[in-house]
Amino acid sequence: MDLNLNGKVAFVTGGGQGVGRRICLDLAAEGARVAVNDLFPTRAQAVVAEIEAAGGQAFAAVADITREAEVNAAIAAAEQALGPIDILVNNAGVLVERREKGGAAPMFVETTPDAWERIVALNVFGMMYCCKAVLPGMQARRYGKIVNIMSEAGRAGEGRLAVYSGAKAAMLGFAKAIAQEHGRDCVNVNVIALGAISHEGIPEGALHPDATPENNERLGKMLNAYPIGRGLRRLARPEDVSGMVCLLASDRAAYITGQSIGVSGGYVML
């Protein structure tokens, strides 16, 4: 299927590794020019180099998206280098820190406002700053695609992840509201909900790309929560997500807006 993204410009937050990296690479493979946002310059530049080596166009948009001024500067620089932003993928996010030695995350009553602020700043305010920066241009051009990457914790709730669940749920509620406000401007806004993802940024454990049910007992137990994962004998991979992003970023999805789509192997079924 030709998604016809040639000439489109995408801005992807958290694009330096994992799911974000694969989203950047696949959008570029579909013909889009990609602004790779990351907090760390070396990660953003490495993905840009991959895209350029494959014949695509990309720009390293380094910024801390929890700071509005940095977001505005990064998007302005990206637009100067690549053109007006047609596609925004709000992928950057942060999870709560686990206890030492891989233990369970703390209960909500054991957490502090400092920890809440870090989670909400990136997952919620970072998304809002990016949307605020690109929406006027999309509105003026009567064209835009916004895709928020959330967690199934935001659709179902998850114990010991209360603040994270709330922040991810905010991404969904915000997307639905923006879809209502800007449908008249031909701006599509959708959300993709993820479960556990195996990717190269994880050094060890059940989410490492080389983990299998045979060599990792924890992975075998985790697969019980993912109906299709039991059959495929694996967790989701970044390429399972990036294909859906590319579809929602294309005009093949022109009549899809305000929706949450689970790419989580059936972890949550709505």
Catalytic residue numbers read 164
Please name the amino acid found at residue 240.
Answer: D
Token readout for 10 is 């995408």
The candidate with the shortest Cα–Cα distance to 91, out of 181, 28, 152, 21, is 21
CA-based nearest residue to 75, from 136, 22, 19, 156? 136
3-class SS of residue 249: coil
Nearest by Cα to 193 from 119, 124, 269: 269
Enclosing H/E stretch for 151? strand 144-151
Token representation of residue 199? 């990717």
Calculate helix-pair angle for 126-141, 162-182, nearest 10 degrees. Answer: 10
CA 196 to chain centre: 13
Q: How far apart are CA 56 and CA 49, in angstroms?
A: 9
Sheet containing 9-12, strands listed edge to edge, beginning at the edge strand earlier in sequence: 58-62, 33-38, 9-12, 87-90, 144-151, 187-194, 260-263
Tokens linked to 197: 């993802």
**Which pair of tokens denotes residue 54?**
């494959």
Give the three-class secondary structure for 143.
coil
